[in-house]
Amino acid sequence: MTDSSTGEDAAYGGRDPDALARRAGSRADPDRDQHFLVDDRVLDRIPGYLPDDADRSRLLEIGGGAGALTDRLLAAATAPSTAGATGDTAADATAEPGHVTVIERDGAFVDFLREEFAAAIADGLLDVVEGDALDVDLPPFSACVANLPYGVSSEIAFRLLPEKRPLVLMFQAEFAERMVASAGESEYGRLSVSAQHYADAEIVERVPKEAFDPQPAVESAVVRCTPRDPDYAVGDETFFLRFVKALFTQRRKTVRNAIRNTGHISGLDEPEAVVDAADEELLSSRPGTLEPAAFAALAELARERGSPTEA
């Protein structure tokens, strides 16, 4: 598909990422954690990683840059009555368009997105919000698809995960591997337990450095997070996540010693009381071998016996 000089005459979903970058007139700055995804094939696939039954009526993108993914999301967004309902490509092509919101902190790219996609904005299909995704109020959204700034990907992910919406997010590959790791694997840690508390997380595509301009120093991966309730209960989610964080600071210690050594992190006034009440087999384990459900049970015991202080 050929882009017009302004982009406004091009149907959504086919804008060339290199042409968009040229029109933007500003290169991505790696010192500002900016790397344009410029591989058309990867860009075309990313929206399709949303779960089949995901509501595509109000899509959120964080870090729009020059708009290559924004363009694909405008093509993928569909109204609630048909979003993900049929799986029939021909039928879905006739669906009413949904809405996309882009949060972008770089003022130059904000201005470009508003010019490039002026028609979509005028038609009520797109909003471009200027600001930092860690600070601005998140708009109502049904799913989020984004190539995140890697330097703040953890903070953004854990702002999005509690919203319990489908997520398709690009991460540094090492971060993605830790996010999806299972108990007993070397990558398993606080990130794994915390992410999997909110969702089923899976790597759906690995993306080489060459797919970006400028190229990052690391490989990347796309992670799909499908929200679901955990198969365990926690009485205080904030304490649970703080307790998990505390124990993983001592991942090479036994759980017994990790509880004893991290009361200042978990907020336990009486860690010894927790040790006295816990199962011996559990206490002899290492944090990296515990399933999320075991962490939850131990956290509940810690709340009951350890007199935790409020965060």
Contact of 133 with 156, CB cutoff 8 Å: yes
Residue 300 assigned to a binding site:
no
Residue 132 assigned to a binding site:
yes
Residue count of the chain: 311
Q: How far apart (Å, rounded) are the C-alpha atoms in residues 89 and 98?
A: 16
Residue 35 assigned to a binding site:
yes
Residue 63 assigned to a binding site:
yes
Q: CA 138 → CA 53, 87, 103, 135, distances in Å?
A: 23, 29, 9, 9
Q: CA 113 → CA 60, 119, 145, 223, 279, distances in Å?
A: 15, 11, 17, 25, 57
Residue 92 tokens, joined: 């879905």
Residue 261 assigned to a binding site:
no
Among 209, 42, 226, 211, residue whose Cα is nearest residue 144:
226
Q: What is the rounded end-to-end Cα distance, in angstroms, of the chain?
A: 54
Residue 272 assigned to a binding site:
no
Would you list which residues are annotated within the binding site for S-adenosyl-L-methionine?
Answer: 35, 37, 63, 104, 132, 147
Q: Which residues are annotated as a binding site?
A: 35, 37, 63, 104, 132, 147
